[in-house]
Amino acid sequence: MKIQLALDRVDMDEAIAIASAVSDSVDWIEVGTSLVKEFGMQSIRTMREVFPHKTILADMKTFDNAAYEMKLCFEAGANVATVMGAAPMATIELCKRVADEYGAHVMIDLLNVSADKVDELRRLTGVTWCYHVSKDEQEGQGTSAVSLSLATRPTGVRAAAAGGITVDSIPHFSRLGVDILVVGSAITKARDPREAARYFREVIEENANERELVER
Amino acid sequence: MKIQLALDRVDMDEAIAIASAVSDSVDWIEVGTSLVKEFGMQSIRTMREVFPHKTILADMKTFDNAAYEMKLCFEAGANVATVMGAAPMATIELCKRVADEYGAHVMIDLLNVSADKVDELRRLTGVTWCYHVSKDEQEGQGTSAVSLSLATRPTGVRAAAAGGITVDSIPHFSRLGVDILVVGSAITKARDPREAARYFREVIEENANERELVER
């Protein structure tokens, strides 16, 4: 299981400081939507400069104008970009097409997507589905990604989970076969982010080993 | 009927040049999502500096993290901000609350919103609903906002229309009582944007006068 470090609601200096502290323990660095909207594509370019070899995800949350937005972030150095599952299929399919041209990858954010739309999304393979409970829902309703059912996930699609994820939820997501765990404040707001990230990695490895033993 | 000039897929110099050329004929200046994501909040701050007295709309297309994103754009000088109607109600209501604190206004973008969600949105008055056919749908399917039904619009809510709008569609939207016409490439891509905007304004005034005569 990969760790995607979500960086949001910080300035670029803080984002770089946190990412530098934890980069050994995390797999993907997410430039969050708030950084994209506050600092524009400079946020992606800066991260690419500082981390030339890391996988960088641009949380574009694209809803329209897919070709232009995807090109923006891939040209700036992103390897992965998000599109909203609630967007029109034309937009989502266009994101995938542009990502393919760049050798990049698309993550579909399933936030607030209807069951019918989930069914429609099944026809698009080679992408990642991100099961997501939003920040505003977490704060308003006290929910987190642990409450989500991942039963809808088709074959040929990777799964990510995002929203209020803590170390305690690792066994749950490990059992569900989640590929990417999106972790924000449990690392970035920890007293010692480096130590928090290391602990996430450690518990993920333990769970992977245990599952391997069970499956033998 | 107001004209909202939508600026997208240009750099800031071009955006300023177009807006300066047409500002006498348009009411609101929209800093499009592509400018927000490419140049960050600097795009809003620049527009506010150049047009200290114009109504500036930030096409944030917020889907989560409402309080932070609304504060970002209102602090940067926007008077109006968009939130996606497809976002969770918690996010949309939070956008409205923050806008109220700033004496600002929220436009709900109805792009790809289900009929059920439209019903849910009725409980939030004092906002603008933007009936919207996306750029990707226009290009993929040849549709435009003229094809949309505005029958769902409740009282206490202003209506905007966006997506492939031309001068020819003014009588249609005027009859429907649309308050804000969002115009992009029909002005920005015109051979003479100043003249195109002036003509939009002229036809809008003519239609308003005709309607006044009819209604007497």
Tens of pLDDT along A135-186? 999 999 989 999 888 888 898 899 999 999 999 999 999 999 999 999 999 9
Q: Residue B73 has what pLDDT?
A: 98
A66 contacts on B by Cβ (under 8 Å)? 136
Higher-confidence residue: B188 or B156? B188
Chain A / chain B CB contacts < 8 angstroms: 131
ipTM rounded to 2 decimals:
0.96
Question: CA–CA distance from A170 to each of A162, A200, A207 (Å)?
Answer: 12, 8, 8
φ, ψ for residue A113 (rounded to 5)? -90, 140
Residue in chain B closest to A43 (alpha carbons) equals: B40
Q: Residue A214 has what pLDDT?
A: 77
Question: Among partner residues B34, B64, B114, which is closest to A69 by beta-carbon distance?
Answer: B34
Query: What is chain B's mean pLDDT, rounded?
Result: 96
Residue A29 near residue A54 (C-beta atoms within 8 A) = yes
In eight-state DSSP terms, residue B146 is G
Q: What is the pLDDT of residues A39-66, one digit of tens each?
A: 999 999 999 999 999 999 999 999 999 9
Q: What is the pLDDT of residues A50-106, one digit of tens each?
A: 999 999 999 999 999 999 999 999 999 999 999 999 999 999 999 999 999 999 999
Query: A125: distance to nearest CA of chain B, Å?
Result: 20
CATH number assigned to the domain comprising residue B131 = 3.20.20.70
B63 contacts on A by Cβ (under 8 Å)? 33, 61, 63, 84, 86, 111-112, 134
B133 contacts on A by Cβ (under 8 Å)? none
Mean pLDDT across the stretch B40-50? 98
Split at pLDDT 50, 70, 90, the class of B158 is very high
Residue B152 in this model has a pLDDT that exceeds 90? no
Residue B62 near residue B108 (C-beta atoms within 8 A) = no
DSSP-assigned states of every residue in B18-82: HHHHHTTT-SEEEE-HHHHHHHTTHHHHHHHHH-TTSEEEEEEEE-S-HHHHHHHHHHTT-SEEE
Residue in chain B closest to A85 (alpha carbons) equals: B86
Query: Is A68 close to B136, i.e. CB distance below 8 A?
Result: no
CA dihedral (A96, A100, A101, A104) positive or negative: positive
Count structural domains, chain A: 1
Residue in chain A closest to B36 (alpha carbons) equals: A37
Which residues of chain B have a Cβ shorter than 8 Å from any chain A Cβ?
A: 8-9, 33-34, 36-43, 60-61, 63-66, 68-69, 72, 84, 86-88, 90-91, 94, 111-112, 114, 134-137, 140-141
Query: Which of A64, A92, A132 is the best residue to mutate to test the B interface, defined by the most B CB atoms within 10 Å of its own CB?
Result: A64
A42 contacts on B by Cβ (under 8 Å)? 40
How many CA atoms within 13 Å lie on the side-chain side of B205?
8
Instruction: Give the separation between CA B38 and CA A69, rounded to whole angstroms.
Output: 8
* Parent domain of A55: 2-215
Mean pLDDT across the stretch B31-36? 98
